[in-house]
């Protein structure tokens, strides 16, 4: 497997960089693509990239997956065997401010990846989906075959669209394809737009936090190392449960954490109390909770990092870097 060339889009992102580092440490030949946009702190993305660029088996291209000609040239030059698409415009709330970015990256960009995978006849496509596709589903924990036809944000709608597009391409062109629904990924060097990171920033600087829906929400927070384990298992996976060689898996922790438990843990670590106000929101789901039984059976996926251990790892990194 290590003689395979792997292409990772979104390689300067939190999950993409963490996965790339693990693969590079294990001597894979890696091609990275990222547009390094300013949706959040670019210096953090550059810091991740600097780590990756220290490996001789890493080649990086700073471009956008929506740029058809540039992506086509990269595929033609390197002929990747396995493509892992983690590039996307992230964030539920930002989709209210800049919907065009989601169409460009998550739809047009993903279409370009599908076309190039098809044309090159790659061995496998793995792509990032999201727990957001479950919307306001009351069927918890969320099963892979549960309802995903009522997304409550544009971000969720684009991720559901990715699954539908990938399925159709797999049906026609027979490229083995795996979609991974990630559940609230966190850890050191994570995304500053995520609630846990924002809470730490606001508590440390004694600024007011907006708590949505009176804090009556919970998220299936999943530590980055466990997510990377799951993706690497998907790379080697070949025991598809159907003749279409297409699978969707949940990568979560099967243990939702409430807004208040998250907030209290960060308060205790930083040593300050949060200042907050309440606001109602229609695009925030009440609970995310992954049924990971299929992932455990097929990918041997067994997340082992407790919330306390994982959040302490993040907070140790955060305090060392910012405080």
Number of residues that make up the chain: 323
> How far is the C-alpha of 58 from the C-alpha of 20, rounded, in Å?
9
Q: Tell me if residue 155 is catalytic.
A: yes
Would you state the structure tokens that stand for residue 261, as one six-digit string? Answer: 């438990």
Q: Strand, helix or coil at 130?
A: strand
Q: Strand, helix or coil at 156?
A: helix
Angle at 261 between CA 207 and CA 310, to 5 degrees: 95
> How far is the C-alpha of 8 from the C-alpha of 66, rounded, in Å?
15
> How far is the C-alpha of 315 from the C-alpha of 40, rounded, in Å?
19
> How far is the C-alpha of 245 from the C-alpha of 177, rounded, in Å?
6
Would you state the structure tokens that stand for residue 205, as one six-digit string? Answer: 């600087």
What are the beta bridge partners of residue 29?
5
Q: Which of 28, 102, 155, 301 is catalytic?
A: 155
Q: Active-site residues: which are they?
A: 155
């Amino acid at each position: 497997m290590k003689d395979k060339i792997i292409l990772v889009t979104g390689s300067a992102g939190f999950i993409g960089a963490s996965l790339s580092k693990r693969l590079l440490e294990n001597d894979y030949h890696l091609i990275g693509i990222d547009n390094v946009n300013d949706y959040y702190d670019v210096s953090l993305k550059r810091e991740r990239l600097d780590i990756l660029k220290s490996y001789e088996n890493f080649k990086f291209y700073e471009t956008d997956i929506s740029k058809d000609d540039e992506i086509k040239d990269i595929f033609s030059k390197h002929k990747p065997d396995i493509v892992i698409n983690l590039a996307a415009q992230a964030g539920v709330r930002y989709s209210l401010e800049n919907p065009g970015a989601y169409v460009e990256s998550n739809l047009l960009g993903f279409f370009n990846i599908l076309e190039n995978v098809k044309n090159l006849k790659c061995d496998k496509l793995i792509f990032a989906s999201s727990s957001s596709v479950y919307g306001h589903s009351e069927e918890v924990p969320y099963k892979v075959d549960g309802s995903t036809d009522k997304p409550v944000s544009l971000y969720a709608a684009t991720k559901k669209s990715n699954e539908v597009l990938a399925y159709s391409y797999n049906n026609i062109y027979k490229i083995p394809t795996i979609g991974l629904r990630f559940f609230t990924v966190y850890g050191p060097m994570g995304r500053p737009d995520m609630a846990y990171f924002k809470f730490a920033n606001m508590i440390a600087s004694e600024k007011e936090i907006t708590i949505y829906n009176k804090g009556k929400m919970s998220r299936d927070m999943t530590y980055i190392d466990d997510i990377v384990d799951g993706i690497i298992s998907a790379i080697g996976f070949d025991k598809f449960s159907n003749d279409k060689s297409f699978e969707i898996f949940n990568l979560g922790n099967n243990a939702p954490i409430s807004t208040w438990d998250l907030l209290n843990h960060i308060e205790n670590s930083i040593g300050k109390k949060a200042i907050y106000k309440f606001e109602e929101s229609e695009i925030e789901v009440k609970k995310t909770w992954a049924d990971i039984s299929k992932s455990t059976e097929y990918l041997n996926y067994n997340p082992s990092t407790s919330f306390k251990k994982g959040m302490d790892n993040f907070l140790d990194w955060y305090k060392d870097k910012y405080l």
